[in-house]
């Protein structure tokens, strides 16, 4: 049932292509004898720089490609439509073209060519770095690619983990379950001393799922009142006997169920946060990189 991921897309098509291009670049760099130390201004330097810039444009276009939905044709005159209601459409059959592109292919290419970009750009520099705008562009580029690599890792790794965590549940369903446990626990706690009631009450009112950014990313709540309540209840068991012990165990079980559900919900939020967070770096950084790159290109031409 499992289909190929963006990494394996079309039997590593984009890996093969980009690796081929990278090898060519390396070979060219090794055999190039520009007369000076290699840097961006040699012939090969310009060629590599231009190619790298084109790759950058291609990579940036992914963001647009994703958002450009296919155009709808102009609606036909409705009267004509009603008249040709039936299958005589067969006569003017609309052959479905195969998928002209899939966003999956684009994403796969985006990943591999993003990695290739680092090599192209590095060879372009001729390993000449300094405290200047040019190197700033390079650093920004590396940051963009690194954030992208993290993104690739979570995109490939997390989906399966998320499904394992949630099973057949959805987050709204899980929250409803937690709410249900809360209500059950609140009713059940009424017959017990205030201390227990307060534990349950706190667990109900102060347990957070999600919350601040760090809490989302870590999937934890500091001093989580639900976990606290379960721990404390565990130690209180010996205080009750007979029928009350039975009810106490019921309450304990309910809180355990709740804890498990809370942990799962938090984990889900954590994964979702991780799937999303890196884009908040990746996208702005790539804009910053684009600006730095434009300045780099302009300034080079200006001083030429």
Partner 1 sequence: MSEYFKVVIIGAGPAGISAAARAAELGVSHVLLEASAQPAHTICKYQKGKHVMAEPAILPLRSSVRFAAGRREEVLHIWKEDLQAHGVNLRLGAAVVGVQGQRGEFKVALASGETLSAEFVVLALGLQGNIRKLGVRGEDLPRVQYQLDDPEDFEDETIVVVGGGDAGVENALALAEHNRVFIINREEEFTRCNEGNLHLLQQAIKEGKIEPRLNTRVDHVEELDVGGFALQLEAKTPEGTEHILCHRVIARLGASPPRQLVESFGVKFPHADVNSVPALSAQYESNVPGLYIIGALAGYPLIKQALNHGYEVIEYLLGHTVEPADEALLQEKLHVFLPNHTVNRALRVIQRDVPLLSGLTTLQLREFLLESDVFAPAQDEIIFERNDYSNTFFTILDGEFLAYTEDKNHETISYRLSRGNFFGEMGLLSGRRRVGTVKAATAGVLIETPRRSMLKLIRTVEAVRHMLDDISLRRAVQACLGGGLNDEELDYLVRNATVKKFDAGQNIFLQGDKADGLYLIRRGSVMIVRMNDGREEVLSYVAAGNYVGEKALISDMPRSATVRTAVPTETILLETRAVTEMLARNEAMRDVVLTRYRENVRAEQQLENRNQERDGLFNFLMQQGVGEATDVLLIDYSLCIRCDHCETACADTHGGASRLNREAGPTYANIHIPTSCRHCEHPHCMKDCPPDAIHRSINGEVYINDSCIGCGNCEKNCPYDVIQMAVVDPQYQQRSFLEVLFGRVAGWGKRDRELSASKKAVKCDMCRDIASGPVCVRLCPTGAARRVSPEKLALTARNDRQEMET
Binding site for partner 1 (CB under 8 A): 1-6, 9, 64, 66-73, 78-79, 81-83, 85-91, 93-94, 96-104, 107, 154-155, 158-160, 162-163, 166-168, 170-172, 272, 275
CA atoms within 13 A on the CB side of 123: 26
Q: Between 20 and 284, name the residue whose CB sits nearer to partner 1.
A: 284
Q: How far is the CB of 181 from partner 1 (least distance, A)?
A: 15
- Beta strand spans in the chain (E): none
Q: Between 148 and 225, name the residue whose CB sits nearer to partner 1.
A: 148
Q: Between 30 and 95, name the residue whose CB sits nearer to partner 1.
A: 95
Q: How far is the CB of 4 from partner 1 (least distance, A)?
A: 8
Residue 116: closest CA among 145, 154, 140: 145
Q: How far is the CB of 103 from partner 1 (least distance, A)?
A: 5
Residue 247: closest CA among 197, 194, 192: 192
Q: Between 34 and 159, name the residue whose CB sits nearer to partner 1.
A: 159
Q: Between 41 and 180, name the residue whose CB sits nearer to partner 1.
A: 180
CA atoms 141, 147, 150, 152: torsion sign: negative
- Structure tokens of 218? 């870590």
| Residue partners of 125: CB distance under 8 A and separation at least 6 | 39, 40, 134, 135, 138
Q: How far is the CB of 303 from partner 1 (least distance, A)?
A: 30
Q: How far is the CB of 197 from partner 1 (least distance, A)?
A: 21
Q: Rounded to the nearest 10 degrees, how much is the dihedral formed by the CA atoms of 51, 54, 55, 58?
A: -160
């Amino acid at each position: 049932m499992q289909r190929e991921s963006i990494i394996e897309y079309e039997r590593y098509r984009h890996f093969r292509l980009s690796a081929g291009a990278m090898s060519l670049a390396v070979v060219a760099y090794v055999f190039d004898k520009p007369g000076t130390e290699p840097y961006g201004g040699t012939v090969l330097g310009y060629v590599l720089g231009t190619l790298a810039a084109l790759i950058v444009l291609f990579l940036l276009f992914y963001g647009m490609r994703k958002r450009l939905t296919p155009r709808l044709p102009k609606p036909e005159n409705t009267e004509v439509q009603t008249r040709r209601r039936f299958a005589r459409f067969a006569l003017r059959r609309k052959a479905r073209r195969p998928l002209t592109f899939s966003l999956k292919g684009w994403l796969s290419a985006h990943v591999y060519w993003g990695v290739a970009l680092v090599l192209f750009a590095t060879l372009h520099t001729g390993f000449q770095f300094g405290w200047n705008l040019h190197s700033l562009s390079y650093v920004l580029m590396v940051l963009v690619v690194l954030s992208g690599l993290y993104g690739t890792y979570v995109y490939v790794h997390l989906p399966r983990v998320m499904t394992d965590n949630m099973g057949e549940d959805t987050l709204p369903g899980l929250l409803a379950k937690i709410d249900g446990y809360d209500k059950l626990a609140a009713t059940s706690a009424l017959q017990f001393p205030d201390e227990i009631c307060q534990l349950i009450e706190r667990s109900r009112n102060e347990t957070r799922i999600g919350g601040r950014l760090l809490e989302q990313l870590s999937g934890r709540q500091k001093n989580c009142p639900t976990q606290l309540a379960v721990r404390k209840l565990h130690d209180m068991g010996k205080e009750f006997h007979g029928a009350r012990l039975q009810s106490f165990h019921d309450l304990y079980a309910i809180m355990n169920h709740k804890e498990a559900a809370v942990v799962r919900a938090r984990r889900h939020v954590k994964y979702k946060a991780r799937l999303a967070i890196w884009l908040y770096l990746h996208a702005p950084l790539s804009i910053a990189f684009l600006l730095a790159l434009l300045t780099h290109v302009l300034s080079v031409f200006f001083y030429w």
